[in-house]
Amino acid sequence: MHIVTGGAGFIGSNLVHELNAHSITDILVVDHLANAAKFRNLHGARFTDYMDKAEFRRAIASDSLGAVEIESILHQGACSNTLEDDGVYMMDNNFTYSREVLHFAIAHGAPLVYASTAAVYGLSGPGRFTPTLENERPLNVYGFSKLAFDHYLRHRIDEGTLPITAVGLRYFNVYGPREQHKGRMASVLHHFTRQMRETGKVRLFAGSGGYADGEQRRDFVYVRDLARLNMFFAEIGPYAPARGSASRRYQGVANAGSGRARSFNEVARVLMEIHGQVPIEYIPFPADLDGRYQHFTEADLASLRALGCSLPMTPIETGIGETYQTLAAIGE
């Protein structure tokens, strides 16, 4: 059985669908449906069981999931609201929960791949997005909570007490289908598309952070690429060892982005190729994001390649096109 935490969320649900695309359906989906709209992300998905996050945490604490062979744990469950300021809540969801999952994975000899974040880099500029201590300066408790678990994993690796595959993937700015439930935390692609449809124009930030109007730059990574990376490190489906071959033990923290920063202006132009031409309105940068906003991100993929992963990353022109083909197919 494969366990996908956060399995009804944006990244987790796309991971479930990607597993299904490779005929893998023995999946335990773990989530918390206080935001009930997330259930739509699993329309058409096949999985064998579902557990609420609280029930799952109790079950792994008491090792009471039953006599099932756990083939992998793909841990996407977390509080991803970068504006959440409740540090106790954030640390419980993003650090303590992840630590519990790691200990459970070790106890069962199961590979663990988990979601870290590029938010750990804070206001780093070009050339400063490598997973090294001097670059890790999160702006908020969300980034800190993720960094704390990265540190915990690194310590276990350094002291040689980690007997399983355990990889943290620092997701950059993720986009793709099935993010409509995320509200303000959805990607700019989702917001730009909604603006185009509802107002006949698209609103981008005016010059800020040293960048001209709409020229703030982000590393936009396609959610399906992240699903493939999870499967690669957990050796699932097409990435499983050949018959008779031994599994490889992957360990470390690596960036998971496209490797190329693209401006919001570029993203808007790509979307216009799909939705039609609309005017661009540049709006003042929101005061509540001052000092809490990354005006530039770009993944250095050397850490990913050093772990042995050479999977290509999808350019936004292709990824955005596939996103809207998928949304049309599922009626969103």
Would you name the residues annotated as active-site residues?
Answer: 142, 182
Q: Which of 313, 162, 154 is nearest to 232 (CA)?
A: 313
What is the sign, positive or negative, of the torsion defined by CA atoms of 67, 72, 75, 77? Answer: negative
Task: Supply 265's token pair.
Answer: 């202006």
Q: Which residues contact 76 (CB under 8 A, 6 or more apart)?
A: 4, 5, 6, 7, 9, 11, 12, 15, 114, 115
Q: Give strand pairing partners of 117.
A: 171
The sheet that has 251-256: what strands, in order across it? 49-52, 27-31, 2-5, 72-75, 112-117, 166-171, 251-256
Report yes or no: 206 and 284 within 8 Å, Cβ to Cβ: yes
Task: Supply 18's token pair.
Answer: 């990607």
Look at strands 72-75 and 2-5 and give their pairing.
parallel
| Neighbour-count burial for 46-80, b at 16+ CB within 10 Å, e otherwise | ebeebbebeebbebbeeeebeeeebbbbbbbbbbb
- Orientation of helix 223-234 relative to helix 10-21, angle to 10°: 60
Give the up-direction half-sphere exposure of residue 229: CA atoms within 13 A in the CB hemisphere.
36
Calculate Rg over the CA atoms of the chain.
19
